[in-house]
Copies of this chain bind each other. A is one copy, B any other.
Amino acid sequence: MPRRPSLTHLQLASAALDVVDRDGLAGLTMRAVAAQLGVSTMGLYRYVQDRDELEELVVETVLGEIDTDPPGPGDAASWREQLTVMARRLRDTVGTHPSTVPLALTRRYRSTAIMRWSETVLAILAGAGIDGERRVIALRSLLAYAIGAIQLEHLGGPSGLDALATVPSSAVSSEFPFLADSAAAAAGVTRDDEFVGGVALLLDGLTP
């Protein structure tokens, strides 16, 4: 069995991640990644079937950085706090590589990292006495909320709140009075407040 492979999947993934972080998602090209590695373009196809598989690798790498250990009772006493920590970890980790957000969230992925995250969340929910279908819905809701919130945060809030806060044109104000009003109120809400606030709503809903 002559000639060992000279690259590892991990090298591939982090090279690709470097490219994305530097040149944005549009810059993620087989040629660019190959150049980053000092390898010929086609060399990549030794390690990856497809450009698709390369993207999957990037996503897995990013998601793999999520700390999925159960939050120790030291860090967070109540299950509410523990779930908040988990949600934050997901958001903060993905937020470290903003350009990969569309990738991570659009891709049809069956990520083991997300499965580990889900497993820990389910364990916390179980500890809170939430079971059966109720627990299924809780997990999906938390995940759905986190995904959507990350997206809104990084792709420019389509609610228009941010934009309206900076440019409250009177035309907009008259057609969307509530939106204009909310834009003003939104000025006092940080991204973090917003994210954690939404998590709190869900958790309130879970609390009997």
Binding site for B on A (CB under 8 A): 102, 105-111, 114-116, 118-119, 122-123, 126, 131-133, 135-141, 143-149, 151-152, 155-161, 163, 176-179, 181-182, 185-186, 188-189, 193-194, 197-198, 200-206
A140 and B119 CA atoms in complex are apart in Å by 27
In the complex, are the beta carbons of A143 and B148 less than 8 A apart? yes
Which residues of chain B are within 8 angstroms of A135 by Cβ–Cβ distance? 182, 185
In the complex, are the beta carbons of A201 and B137 less than 8 A apart? yes
In the complex, the chain B residue whose C-beta lies closest to that of A131 is B185
Which residues of chain B are within 8 angstroms of A147 by Cβ–Cβ distance? 147-148, 151-152
Contact A119 to B185, CB < 8 A, known contacts A198-B141, A205-B202: no
The 8 Å CB contact of A148, one of B118, B136, B151, B156, is B151
In the complex, are the beta carbons of B152 and A145 less than 8 A apart? no
In the complex, are the beta carbons of A140 and B159 less than 8 A apart? yes
Nearest CB in chain B: distance from A158 CB, A: 5
In the complex, are the beta carbons of B122 and A198 less than 8 A apart? no
Instruction: Find the residue from A131, A146, A161 having the highest chain B CB count within 10 A.
Output: A161
A186 and B188 CA atoms in complex are apart in Å by 39
Which residues of chain B are within 8 angstroms of A105 by Cβ–Cβ distance? 105-106, 151
The 8 Å CB contact of A201, one of B118, B186, B206, is B206
14 contacts between A and B (CB under 8 A): A114-B159, A114-B160, A122-B179, A133-B186, A137-B197, A140-B198, A141-B197, A144-B145, A144-B151, A144-B198, A146-B148, A200-B205, A201-B205, A205-B205
Instruction: Find the residue from A118, A152, A206 having the highest chain B CB count within 10 A.
Output: A118
In the complex, are the beta carbons of A158 and B114 less than 8 A apart? yes
A141 and B206 CA atoms in complex are apart in Å by 15
A32 and B11 CA atoms in complex are apart in Å by 38
A151 and B143 CA atoms in complex are apart in Å by 11
Contact A152 to B144, CB < 8 A, known contacts A136-B186, A182-B122: yes
